[in-house]
Structure 1
Amino acid sequence: MSGAAPGTGRGPLALLPPALIVGGVLANVVGPQPYTGLPLLAAAPLAACIVLTFRGAVVIAALSVIASVAVDLGLARPAAALLVDVADVLVISLIGLWLKRVMDSRDRTLTLTCANWRGGWTRRRNGPRARRGRVSARSSPRRCSRRSRPTATG
């Protein structure tokens, strides 16, 4: 797989959230039904939480809410429709940002745990031969290797 790792804010996937916002605005303005683009505007913050940093996800969430308000005001939709659209995009954005915060926290915990474990493994492996003892399969460094670490995409 080419490109940057998920959650770094780089690579071709970083263009997906802004493209969803543009697509949502165009679908709302040009689409046959009045709320065609709302799912795209709501999906942009969720996509941003997967492929961007937390700060980038906050920016995309704010842009998505602003785009929803601008489209509704530009098309002179009733106030009730504007309120429902903004509430929909805002709630989904907040859920996505909360999930991003949880994923980042778990990734930091896993990174620290693996770093501490590797340090202990190095001390055990390089220690005196008499104190080294047997190493079981459960304590191999492969458990915390880059390959086996879970990513944001599974």
Structure 2
Amino acid sequence: MRHLSYRPCVGIALFNPKGEVFVGRRRSKRVLDPALAGHEWQMPQGGIDPGEAPRDAALRELREETNVSSVTLLAESPRWLNYDLPVDISKRSWRGRYKGQTQKWFAFRFEGQETEINILAPAGGHKPEFAAWRWEAIERLPELIIPFKRAVYESVVADFRHLADMPAS
């Protein structure tokens, strides 16, 4: 049996000046399991390219998924966070090479105007990841995410919760 590793990724908590966090509802061609309805929201995330620094990957992924580049770094998670994909998904995703993802999370303050956010035609001509977006209270994030990612989101909330109360400069 082959030992699968974790795919190295980044996750981004993008805070607006009111302390709310950007969430996007994932686009999906598949019919969503009714039991998962309401759990299709997530923060931007994506893979780290070979030789790319995690912070650079976070800025790139944020731009590719939301078109946002007007940001200030607030914090970096103190550790890498892992989650395992359910077996049926891991066989379909990334050609079955990974059992899940290991993520380094970054918190950024959005410094631009909301007109900068464009999930339907993001920077670089990338395929849209999200069908809709909104600002959300950070405490609600674990209940919005697909259950197999919930523990990661609980850790991100614990690490970044204090940033929601920081006034924008």
Q: Same fold (TM over 0.5)?
A: no
Name the one with the larger strand percent: 2
| RCO comparison, higher one (Cα < 8 Å, 6+) | 2
